[in-house]
């Protein structure tokens, strides 16, 4: 019996894809980051212009990010064919208006972003818009409507169930296809440019806090009762004397991206779990 069990375990182990082989070949440059952050995709994404707010499909077939061109921001896209990435170009729905902070839904079929594009009836100059993927490509951008459009929802991040988290830190829950009024977290936490885990178990955000080194990255973990634990810095490897901002997570949860020195950097997302309080560890 013991030999049979051992054989079964060996077969199961061999059937699990080994991380760092086929998966890593899909990454720009073919090498994943470790616990020390590094510049992401130099020349492809990080070009020497100001880039921030990156989001990537789960299968690593498309990368969307913001690039500041002159006085306006453009959402750029690069696509993978085999293990080769295309030169970055404006996304088909961007380039005419000031667009930024793209955020792909976990299934990759919906992309939310900020834009100053005009539309009658919108009260704020900067609004949250979305496009949806079809067999013919992305749909035309549409506003999320009230109550989202009733205030400026800056740097939106969307969980798997559609809840929007934004600079504040605030959130708008989605119930039966409609959004409820904006609410603050409990307890009230100040921060900006949040990125929420798909299951809403934690939020990474940027902030200037006492004891920090400037604009740093912090994480708050969700307590079992639905409230949030106190902010914890992501450590000296991530937070430096220069500003860190615009954190985002890869769809597969393996990597944390953020902006530093006008480039996009990335690091193994294990840096988040490394600072999880002991009383919230499973």
Residue 163 burial (CB count, 10 A) = 17
Rounded Cα distance, 103 and 166, in Å:
12
pLDDT of residue 221: 97
Domain extents for the chain? 32-280
75 bridge partner residues? 66
CATH assignment of 32-280, among 2.60.40.10, 2.115.10.20, 3.40.50.1370, 2.60.120.560: 2.115.10.20
* Residues found in the chain: 282
* 42-76 residue pLDDT tens: 999 999 899 999 999 999 999 999 999 888 899 99
Q: Could you give the CA distance from residue 97 to residue 102 in angstroms, rounded to a whole number?
A: 14
In the 8-state DSSP scheme, what is residue 229? P
Residue range 200-216: mean pLDDT, rounded: 92
Query: What is the percent of the chain where pLDDT is above 90?
Result: 62
Placement of tokens 């054989």 in the chain: 7
Q: Is the pLDDT of residue 11 over 50?
A: no
C-alpha separations of 238 from 5, 101, 163 in Å: 43, 21, 27
Q: How far apart are CA 82 and CA 125, in angstroms?
A: 40
Query: What does the pLDDT read at residue 16?
Result: 30
Is the pTM higher than 0.95? Answer: no
Residue 124 — pLDDT band, cuts 50, 70, 90? Answer: low
Tokens coding 32: 């994943």
């Amino acid at each position: 019996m013991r030999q049979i069990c051992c054989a079964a375990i060996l077969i199961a182990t061999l059937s699990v894809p080994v991380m760092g082989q086929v998966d890593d070949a899909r990454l720009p440059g073919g090498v994943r980051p470790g616990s020390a952050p590094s510049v992401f995709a130099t020349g492809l994404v990080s070009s020497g212009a100001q880039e921030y707010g990156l989001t990537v499909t789960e299968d690593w077939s498309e990368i969307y990010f913001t690039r500041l061109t002159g006085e306006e921001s453009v959402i750029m896209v690069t696509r993978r064919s085999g293990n080769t990435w295309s030169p970055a170009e404006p996304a088909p729905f961007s380039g005419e208006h000031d667009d930024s902070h793209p955020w792909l839904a976990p299934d990759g079929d919906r992309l939310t972003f900020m834009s100053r594009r005009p539309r009658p009836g919108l009260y704020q100059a900067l609004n949250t818009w979305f496009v949806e993927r079809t067999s013919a490509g992305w749909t035309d951008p549409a506003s999320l409507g009230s109550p989202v459009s009733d205030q400026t929802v800056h740097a939106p991040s969307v969980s798997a169930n559609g809840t929007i988290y934004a600079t504040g830190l605030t959130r708008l829950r989605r119930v039966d296809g409609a959004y409820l009024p904006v609410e603050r977290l409990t307890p009230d936490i100040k921060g900006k440019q949040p990125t929420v885990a798909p299951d809403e178990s934690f939020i990474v955000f940027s902030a200037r806090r006492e004891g920090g080194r400037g604009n740093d990255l912090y994480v708050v973990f969700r307590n079992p009762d639905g409230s949030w634990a106190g902010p914890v810095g992501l450590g000296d490897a991530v937070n430096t004397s220069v500003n860190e901002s615009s954190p985002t997570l890869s769809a597969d949860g393996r990597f944390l991206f953020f902006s530093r020195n006008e480039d996009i950097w990335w690091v193994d997302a294990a840096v988040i779990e490394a600072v999880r309080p002991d009383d919230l560890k499973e």
